[in-house]
Amino acid sequence: MPVNDTYTDVLIIGGGVVGCAIARELSRYRVRVALVEKELDVGFGTSSRNSGVMHAGFNYKPGSLRAKVDVRGNALMDDLCRDLGLKIKRIGKLTVALDEADVPTLNRLKEQGDANGVPGLEIIPPQTMQKLQKGVEGLMALHSPSSAIISPYALTIALAENAAANGATIRLGREVTEIRRPAAPGESFEVTTVSAEDGRKETFRAKVVVNSAGLFSDAVCRMAGITDYRIYPCRGEYYVLDKRLDGSLSTLVYQAPKPNAPGLGIHLTPTVDGNIIIGPSAEYIDGREDHACTADVMAALRKEGHDLLPSLRMSDFIRNFAGIRAKQTPPEVGGNLDFVIEDRKDVPGFVNLVGIESPGLTSAPAIAEMVRDMVAAHIPLAERDDFNPRSGRSPFFFSELPPDVRADMIAENPNYGEIICRCEQITKQEIIDAIKNPLGAKTLISIKYRARATMGRCQGGFCLPRITRILRDEFGWKPENFLLRSVRSPLYAGHVREDKGGDVR
Amino acid sequence: MTLAIRRLKACVAVIGGGPAGLAAAVAARNAGCGDVLLIERDRILGGILNQCIHDGFGLHTFGEALSGPEYAGRYISMFRERNIRSLEDTIVLSLAPASEGGLEILASSRAGLVAIDANAVILAMGCRERPRGAISIPGDRPSGVYTAGAAQNLVNLENIQIGKRVCILGSGDIGLIMARRMTLEGASVESVFEILPYSSGLPRNIQQCLNDYNIPLFLSTTVTKIHGRGRLEGVSVAQVGADRSPVPETERYVPCDTLLLSVGLIPENELSRMCGVEIDPVTSGAVVDDTFMTSVPGVFACGNVLHVHDLVDWVSVEAAQAGAFAAAYAAGSAPEAGIPVKPGDGVRYTLPQRVSGARDCTISLRVGAPWRDRSIVVRTPGSASEERRIIKRTKMVRLHPAEMIRVDLKAADFAGASGLEVCVE
Ligand SMILES: Cc1cc2nc3c(=O)[nH]c(=O)nc-3n(C[C@H](O)[C@H](O)[C@H](O)COP(=O)(O)OP(=O)(O)OC[C@H]3O[C@@H](n4cnc5c(N)ncnc54)[C@H](O)[C@@H]3O)c2cc1C
Ligand SMILES: Cc1cc2nc3c(=O)[nH]c(=O)nc-3n(C[C@H](O)[C@H](O)[C@H](O)COP(=O)(O)OP(=O)(O)OC[C@H]3O[C@@H](n4cnc5c(N)ncnc54)[C@H](O)[C@@H]3O)c2cc1C
């Protein structure tokens, strides 16, 4: 098979939120940047499978990298969301002490947070707690006003699209399988990738390689001859709840953490789009891509949900998902290790990110700044004068705009008048924009993460046939072009009647 | 609102152009309302019937077995003959009581937003299918898992073959119809699994869609796990105990590339809720009186949005009544006080939930489990001051939860009752 060669200054391996934030940060400078992602879209790994919380930063040891990049990342998020046209809701968080035993924990967290530079931390009594969230009970709580929620997949996509708009190359469906270190100082890495679609190889030559491969960061390390790390996947399952319950949570409520817990515990988290998610569980598993949900955990989450939200009904559960933490500690050790963010001295030009579990989402923009400085040690970085930090997009879905604005927009473009996804009231134009995304991602999940279609209470029962019709009639898709998420997940088996090919109405 | 929003007025506005909406609109016109407006989000009228290309519709109404589109066609003709106004390709986004009285509808189409003021509104939005998430099946989330109605739409209307080796979870009618449809289109339908000890579909569909094609139906059996990271590769199934939880020793694996879910329909009451209509937790539809008026004055409901029907003929009958009452209301008739009707032993729900006592009426009901040789009894609930009185007793050879039962009552028979209760004896 013929092998293509692509030259770049920096090659980023992995299009999660971290890789995409790095690509966007580097696109400010006069360097060639390419990002390769093995899936058919960015953010299909852990970055679309988490709680979407911008953590304040009091849970991490002072002086640790996690503390540093989390607090910095959280502080960067308002401007970033404004520039990229994303929703961010600073709803704050209550970490609640249920009994006396939790009180020292709260005090320790406050001290730790103050040392980390977390703004506005306060220990508050029950009356103040209840003003922030009706019905919450406990002895006292640590209130962190900078805790916030965002849409994790929207952030990842927006970072990648803005990077691409500023000249970065984003290559989807390309898995890195081999890395050859530079034969001599001043020479390039040779990174071999294989296409998910046709198996063709393409080699990237790069002066600097960034490993942001998430759950596979240890595997990528090994390709570069680094054997120091091992990832232990630890799965967290969730339920998504119907929008009927929107408004039941005005802030985040967590219990005071227990020593050595693998995560922050199961809780309710509102999403920026008006759903509530219940989770995550924590369970070490073998597979790094085993996103299955399991009967026992699902039952436990349902029970937890009913306890936390008594008005919850069975019909409010609309979907499940799971995300996997890239842990560096095996189950018998538990807890977390600090992030690894290093410029490898033994492999010059190899910038290595390992164990970026929570709060990796919050930290991504700050990690990107650190990586930028590491890259600058190898390649001089001169700022471009034409960098455009803005996406030019509105953070709102069409249905969220006032009626008169909508009426004017429909008058200009009738596609805004046609509703395709009834549950979320998503219009045809929003579907078309999603299909025409600048990254060229073409799976149904790509459309879902961009336009929200299929994410409502009917889960696509209504809009899937309609989206199918648009793709067929206006984009010329054949049944075999429809993929759920990967080349291994075709939606359709062909036509019913080959001779007709089209609409049988 | 700005000029960009068009304004319309209607005496009776009908939301939804399926069989319920069509029959309601025709009846409202027949009752003398000159100003009926029907709004339908699809590009053609007829509702869910357009994708039901099998026959069996209209046996009661027309005395023949019609296909879904043929049945709809009859009503569309009646609708067109009466020159009733309609907005197709127009979706209602919101419904609220207007500050000046009456009701206000906001709808959207390619032509723009339109606000409609109506004296009376008939809800006829039909229902939607319960998705996988709502029944919490563990396992992977591959492609190849569809709700049966969405599959029917893709196969029958979009010419898309969705898979080759099919299992079906749930023995609701749509699932049964699709078992036959997929077989006729060359797919191999492995099995139908039903968690209940009896089928939730009509007996005639079990015969004509499964037995005639040798498709096995496994009762008291459910899917316990979905396998496949890409496309569906198979399902684990197990028998369930009396508490409906799976018995692990009975678990087995069935390879398949497609799983159709026919696990229940949910009346589509978003607009009703928005407008403050009281919803019955059992039917998931509005609480109505015997004029089909909901708890919000001037808002009526009929068809699958009110309660899920198995036979379209009853949809048409019920909707015609709702249409006539809505026309009378719009012309000024006042709502009446109601006698509560409640389900008793063996009965899952009764509808309407209130009757006026001023006129004859029909109680629709469903039983909670299959029975043979029982009676449906309508009686007064009885209290310290009032002796229990039997209003009507109807002998039934077989009762089945899948079949809606209708009991006609004469006003004279229950005059003066303070309440009614319907039970199985
Ligand atoms: C249950 C759960 C809840 C969480 N909640 C929060 C939270 O509330 N707040 C917060 O801040 N953080 C949270 N996190 C952490 C956060 O989600 C992660 O830290 C973050 O998403 C990691 O991003 P990433 O880019 O490093 O990894 P990923 O998103 O996994 O991206 C890595 C990418 O690399 C690709 N890749 C792998 N190998 C190759 C290869 N060989 N070639 C090409 N591409 C490759 C993968 O396909 C993947 O897309 C949570 C995590 C979990 C699991
Ligand atoms: C697969 C299947 C098989 C069946 N088989 C049989 C059979 O063999 N024999 C039989 O007698 N009956 C059968 N039925 C039952 C019968 O078809 C239904 O009971 C009947 O269609 C219900 O009518 P409806 O008008 O209430 O709802 P629908 O037919 O669902 O119509 C509702 C209409 O409202 C519109 N609508 C909803 N919301 C809005 C909005 N916001 N704005 C504008 N418009 C809106 C929808 O687009 C739709 O057109 C079957 C049903 C199905 C689904």
Which burial class, exposed, middle or buried, applies to B179 when counting CB atoms under 10 A from its CB (0-12, 13-18, 19+)? buried
The number of helix segments (H) and strand segments (E) in chain A equals: 12, 23
Q: Same domain, yes or no, for A385 and A447?
A: no
Rounded-to-integer distance, Cα B155 and Cα B50, Å: 12
Q: Which residues of B touch A414 (CB under 8 A)?
A: 110-111
- Rank A243-252, A314-323, B251-260 by mean pLDDT and report only the highest: B251-260
Which candidate, B252, B36, B13, places its Cα nearest to that of B117? B13
Amino acid residing at B97: P
pLDDT value at A107 more than 80: yes
Scored b (16 or more CB within 10 A) or e, A465-477 reads: bbbbbbbbeeeeb
Task: Using a pLDDT cut of 90, give the percent of chain A over it.
Answer: 88
Please give the average per-residue pLDDT across A413-417, as a whole number: 97
Q: Do B143 and A490 touch (CB under 8 A)?
A: yes
Reported as a pLDDT band with limits 50, 70 and 90, residue A504 is: very low
- Tens-place pLDDT, residues B66-109: 999 999 999 999 999 999 999 999 999 999 999 888 999 999 99
The 3 state secondary structure assigned to A111-164 is: HHHHHHCCCCCEEECHHHHHHHCCCCCCCEEEEECCCEEECHHHHHHHHHHHHH
Which burial class, exposed, middle or buried, applies to B21 when counting CB atoms under 10 A from its CB (0-12, 13-18, 19+)? buried
Q: Do A495 and B160 touch (CB under 8 A)?
A: yes
Q: Do A274 and A255 contact (CB within 8 A), yes or no?
A: no
**CA dist B254 to B190, B218, B232, B245, Å?**
8, 13, 11, 19
Rounded-to-integer distance, Cα A435 and Cα A470, Å: 10
Reported as a pLDDT band with limits 50, 70 and 90, residue A5 is: confident
Reported as a pLDDT band with limits 50, 70 and 90, residue B187 is: very high
Q: Do A41 and A446 contact (CB within 8 A), yes or no?
A: yes
Q: What is the pLDDT of residue A335?
A: 86
Task: Using a pLDDT cut of 70, give the percent of chain A over it.
Answer: 97
Rounded-to-integer distance, Cα A240 and Cα A151, Å: 14
Q: Do B318 and B303 contact (CB within 8 A), yes or no?
A: yes
Least confident stretch, A162-176, A376-390, A477-491, B122-136: B122-136
Q: Do A403 and B113 touch (CB under 8 A)?
A: yes
| A291 classed as catalytic | no
Rounded-to-integer distance, Cα B69 and Cα B71, Å: 5
Domain borders along chain B are 5-128+266-335, 131-263, 341-424
Rounded-to-integer distance, Cα A205 and Cα A276, Å: 44
Residue A122: inside a domain, yes or no? yes
Residue A489: inside a domain, yes or no? no
Statement: the pTM of the whole predicted model exceeds 0.90:
yes
Nearest Cβ partner of A484 from B106, B143, B266?
B143
Distance from the first to the final alpha carbon of chain B = 58
Please give the average per-residue pLDDT across A102-124, as a whole number: 97
Residues sharing a CB contact under 8 Å with residue A124, sequence separation 6 or more, in sequence order: A94, A132, A140, A141, A142, A143
Closest B-chain CA to A408:
B4
Q: Same domain, yes or no, for A167 and A54?
A: yes
How close A443 gets to chain B, by Cα (Å)? 11
Residue A494: inside a domain, yes or no? no
Measured in angstroms, how far is the CA atom of residue A45 from the centroid of ligand 1?
A: 5
Residue A198: inside a domain, yes or no? yes
pLDDT value at A500 more than 70: no
Written as one string, the DSSP assignment of A432-499 is HHHHT-TT---SHHHHHHHH-TT-STTTTTTHHHHHHHHHHHHH---GGG-BSSSTT-BS--EESSTT
Mutation choice for A interface testing from B90, B109, B159 by most A CBs within 10 A: B159
Please give the average per-residue pLDDT across B308-316, as a whole number: 95
Q: Do A195 and A186 contact (CB within 8 A), yes or no?
A: no
pLDDT value at A264 more than 90: no
Q: Do B113 and A417 touch (CB under 8 A)?
A: yes
Q: Do A217 and A211 contact (CB within 8 A), yes or no?
A: yes
Tokens of B302: 């009929």
Token match 């209550």: residue?
A: A94
Least confident stretch, A22-31, A409-418, B410-419: B410-419
Q: Does the CB atom of residue A213 touch ligand 1 within 6 A?
A: yes
Residue A352: inside a domain, yes or no? yes
Q: Does the CB atom of residue A220 touch ligand 1 within 6 A?
A: yes
Cα–chain-centroid distance for residue A117?
A: 25
Q: Which residues of B touch A484 (CB under 8 A)?
A: 142-143
**CA dist B122 to B91, B99, B313, Å?**
15, 19, 18
Which burial class, exposed, middle or buried, applies to A246 when counting CB atoms under 10 A from its CB (0-12, 13-18, 19+)? middle
Q: Are strands A4-13 and A33-36 parallel, antiparallel or unpaired?
A: parallel
Q: What is the pLDDT of residue B1?
A: 46
Q: Same domain, yes or no, for A282 and A315?
A: yes
Tokens of A80: 């970033």
Architecture of the domain spanning B5-128+266-335? 3-Layer(bba) Sandwich (3.50)
Please give the average per-residue pLDDT across B315-326, as a whole number: 97
Q: What is the pLDDT of residue B3?
A: 63
Q: Same domain, yes or no, for A306 and A316?
A: yes
Which of A348, A380, A395 is the last residue in one of the domains? A395
Q: Do A403 and B89 touch (CB under 8 A)?
A: no
* Angle in degrees, 0-180, between the axes of helices A17-26 and A152-165, rounded to the nearest 10: 30
Q: Which ligand is nearest to the CA of B125?
A: 2
Beta bridge pairs of residue B395: B375
Residue A362: inside a domain, yes or no? yes
Q: Does the CB atom of residue A297 touch ligand 1 within 6 A?
A: no
How confident is the prediction for chain B on average, in pLDDT? 95
Rounded-to-integer distance, Cα B132 and Cα A460, Å: 11
Architecture of the domain spanning B341-424? Sandwich (2.60)
Which candidate, B314, B328, B325, B165, places its Cα nearest to that of B233? B165
Number of domains into which chain A is organized: 3
Q: What is the pLDDT of residue B30?
A: 98
Q: Same domain, yes or no, for A70 and A163?
A: yes
Q: Do B132 and A459 touch (CB under 8 A)?
A: yes
Task: Give me the catalytic one of A55, A267, A306, A495.
Answer: A55
Tokens of A77: 């998020």
Residue ranges in B115-269 assigned as alpha helix (H)? 132-135, 148-158, 173-184, 203-205
Q: Same domain, yes or no, for A20 and A81?
A: yes
Residue A294: inside a domain, yes or no? yes
Rounded-to-integer distance, Cα A30 and Cα B144, Å: 46
Rounded-to-integer distance, Cα B259 and Cα B253, Å: 13
Least confident stretch, A310-314, B34-38, B177-181: A310-314
Kindly report the CATH number assigned to the domain that includes residue A456.
1.10.10
Question: Residue A265 is part of which domain span?
Answer: 88-149+234-322
Q: Same domain, yes or no, for A299 and A249?
A: yes
Least confident stretch, B11-20, B308-317, B354-363, B385-394: B385-394
Q: What is the pLDDT of residue B215?
A: 98
Amino acid residing at A67: A
Kindly report the CATH number assigned to the domain that includes residue A302.
3.30.9.10
Mutation choice for A interface testing from B125, B229, B235 by most A CBs within 10 A: B229
Q: What is the pLDDT of residue A505?
A: 46
Reported as a pLDDT band with limits 50, 70 and 90, residue A3 is: low
Written as one string, the DSSP assignment of A307-366 is HH-TT--GGGEEEEEEEEEEESS-TTT-S-PPPEEEE-SSSTTEEEEE---TTHHHHHHH
Which candidate, A85, A84, A153, places its Cα nearest to that of A396? A85
Architecture of the domain spanning B131-263? 3-Layer(bba) Sandwich (3.50)
φ and ψ at residue A9, rounded to 5 degrees: -80, -50
Q: Same domain, yes or no, for A190 and A165?
A: yes
Q: Same domain, yes or no, for A371 and A244?
A: no
Q: What is the pLDDT of residue A499?
A: 60
pLDDT value at A2 more than 90: no
Which candidate, B164, B400, B137, places its Cα nearest to that of B261? B137
ipTM for the whole complex: 0.94
Rounded-to-integer distance, Cα B174 and Cα B162, Å: 16
**SS3 of residue B272 by DSSP:** helix
Residues sharing a CB contact under 8 Å with residue B313, sequence separation 6 or more, in sequence order: B57, B58, B59, B60, B61
Beta bridge pairs of residue B221: B239
Neighbours of A6 (CB within 10 A): 17
Q: Same domain, yes or no, for A248 and A285?
A: yes
Tokens of A297: 């955990």
Residues sharing a CB contact under 8 Å with residue B315, sequence separation 6 or more, in sequence order: B18, B19, B20, B23, B302, B303, B304, B309
Q: Same domain, yes or no, for A163 and A191?
A: yes
In CATH terms, are B5-128+266-335 and B131-263 the same topology? yes
- Tens-place pLDDT, residues A450-470: 999 999 989 999 999 999 999
Q: Pick the atom of ligand 2 nearest to B174's CA.
A: 1
Which of A344, A366, A395 is the last residue in one of the domains? A395
How close B244 gets to chain A, by Cα (Å)? 14
Give ligand 2 pocket residues (Cβ under 6 A): B 15-21, 39-42, 47-49, 52, 56-57, 91-92, 124-126, 149, 152, 173-174, 177, 268, 271, 303-305, 309, 311-313, 315
How confident is the prediction for chain A on average, in pLDDT? 94
Please give the average per-residue pLDDT across B211-234, as a whole number: 97
Rounded-to-integer distance, Cα B10 and Cα B29, Å: 12
The DSSP H or E segment spanning B255 is: strand B252-255
Q: Do B345 and B423 contact (CB within 8 A), yes or no?
A: yes
Reported as a pLDDT band with limits 50, 70 and 90, residue B2 is: low
Q: Same domain, yes or no, for A185 and A313?
A: no
pLDDT value at A501 more than 60: no
Measured in angstroms, how far is the CA atom of residue A307 from the centroid of ligand 1?
A: 30
Closest B-chain CA to A456:
B131
Please give the average per-residue pLDDT across A87-114, as a whole number: 95
Rounded-to-integer distance, Cα B274 and Cα B362, Å: 28
pLDDT value at A96 more than 50: yes
Please give the average per-residue pLDDT across B297-312, as a whole number: 96
Q: What is the pLDDT of residue A269?
A: 95
Beta bridge pairs of residue A194: A175, A201
